[in-house]
Amino acid sequence: MLEALPDALPVLDARGGTAFVMQRKDRVRFERGTEHLRALRLAEGGTRRVVATCCGTPVFLEFPGGHWLSLYAAIWTESARPRTEFRTMTGDRDLPHDVPNLRTHSLGFYARLLVAWARMGFRNPPAPDAAPLDLPPAPPRP
């Protein structure tokens, strides 16, 4: 859906996955351009997807109640992108074994989230505001 927006950058990689960099909300800063951020929810109260409409760049996902943002890895150049530590939700995909490929989320994954949240004092800071994204109506389903 995001790739269908005007001037959109690719969201999916060659294997059909989306690379994210998870970061605590209290460590994310947008120094400029926030006036271009627009948000989309596929369901009421669901995950918020935020796009920079000036260039069609998907920026982050925000899970309801989450203390982190899932930043689209494509917002960094390859040389500046944080290194991949593991992949989650890989199912039965044939992926390189350069990092662990977890079929779902692991106990270790949730433990890391909990430790990060504890270090934040169990706070949930707000993510940047973004106006709703106006999309053209979807074509009717057959």
What's the pLDDT tens digit per position in 103-123? Answer: 888 888 899 899 999 999 999
pLDDT tens, 5-52? 777 777 888 888 888 999 999 999 988 999 999 998 888 888 999 999
Q: Are 89 and 102 in contact (CB under 8 A)?
A: yes
Under the banding of pLDDT at 50, 70 and 90, the label for residue 136 is low
H helix intervals, the chain: 107-119
pLDDT tens, 72-99? 988 888 899 998 888 888 888 888 888 8
Q: Which pLDDT score, from 0 to 100, does residue 140 have?
A: 58
End-to-end CA distance of the chain: 18
**pTM for this one?**
0.81
Q: Which pLDDT score, from 0 to 100, does residue 61 have?
A: 93
Q: Are 25 and 127 in contact (CB under 8 A)?
A: yes
